[in-house]
Chains A and B, each alone.
Chain A
Amino acid sequence: MDVDDYVIRVDHLSKEFKLPHEKNNSIKSAVVNFWRREKGYEIQKALDDITFDVKKGDFFGIVGRNGSGKSTLLKLIAGIYTPTQGGIHVKGSLTPFIELGVGFNPELTGRENVFLNGSLLGFNRKEMMQKYNDIVEFAEIEKFMDQKLKNYSSGMQVRLAFSIAIQAKGDILILDEVLAVGDEAFQRKCVNVFEKYKSNNQTIVLVTHDMSVVERFCNKALLIKDGSMVEMGKPRLIAQMYSDLNKDAYSKQRRRIEKKRTYTGNIKIELLDYKTKNEKNRFVQGEKMRVKLSWKREGVKNAGVAIMKQSGEYIFGPNTYRDKFKISGKEINYLVDLDIGPGEYFVKAGLFGAKDTNVLEFVDEGPSFNVEEPKRKNKWGGLAHLEYNWE
Chain B
Amino acid sequence: MLKRLFSKKNRALLSELVRTDFKLRYQGSVLGYAWSLLRPLLIFIILYLVFVKFLKLGNGVPHYPVYLLFGIVMWNFFVEMTMQSIGSIVGRGDLIRKIRIPRWMIVFSTSLSALINLGLNLVVVVVFMIINGVGVLSTLPLTILPLIEIYIFALGVSFFLAALFVRFRDVSYIWEVLLQAGFYITPVLYPLSRIPGLTLQKIILMNPMGQAMQDARYTAITHQATTTYQLFNGGPYIFLPFAVVIVTVLIGLFYFKRESKYFAENI
Residues of A within 8 A of B (CB): 17, 25-28, 30, 75, 78-82, 94, 96-99, 102-103, 105, 107-108, 112, 115-116, 118-120, 122-125
Contact = CB atoms under 8 A, between A and B. Distances in A.
A123 B12 contact: yes
Given A26-B170, A122-B12, A98 B98 contact: yes
B12 A125 contact: yes
A119 B12 contact: yes
A112 B23 contact: yes
Given A80-B96, A102-B94, A103-B94, A120 B167 contact: no
Contact of B99 (A27, A80, A115, A118): A80
24 contacts: A17-B265, A26-B170, A30-B167, A78-B99, A79-B100, A81-B264, A82-B262, A96-B99, A96-B100, A102-B99, A107-B24, A108-B20, A115-B16, A116-B20, A119-B12, A119-B15, A119-B16, A119-B17, A120-B95, A120-B99, A122-B9, A124-B8, A124-B12, A125-B12
Nearest to A82: B261
A130 B21 CA distance: 24
Contact of B16 (A30, A78, A79, A116): A116
From B95, B98, B170, name the one whose CB has the most chain A CB atoms within 10 angstroms: B98
Interface in B164-214: 166-171
Contacts of B96: 80
Nearest to A127: B12
Interface in B6-58: 8-9, 11-13, 15-17, 19-20, 23-24, 27
Interface in B73-115: 94-101
B261 A102 contact: no
A124 B264 contact: no
A27 B170 contact: yes
B28 to A, nearest CB: 8
Interface of B is mostly: helix
A25 B169 contact: yes
Contacts of A79: 100
Interface string B100-133: 1100000000000000000000000000000000
Nearest to B20: A116
Given A108-B24, A120-B101, A124-B8, 9 more contacts: A25-B167, A80-B98, A82-B262, A98-B98, A99-B98, A118-B12, A119-B13, A120-B95, A122-B13
Q: Which 5 pairs show the lowest CB-CB distances between chains A and B?
A: A124-B12, A119-B16, A122-B9, A82-B261, A96-B99
Interface in B144-176: 166-171
A96 B98 CA distance: 8
A94 B264 CA distance: 18
A80 B11 CA distance: 20
B147 to A, nearest CB: 28
A124 B20 CA distance: 14
Nearest to B9: A122
Interface string B227-265: 000000000000000000000000000000000011011
B169 A97 contact: no
Contacts of B166: 25
Contacts of B100: 78-80, 94, 96
B130 to A, nearest CB: 36
A31 to B, nearest CB: 10
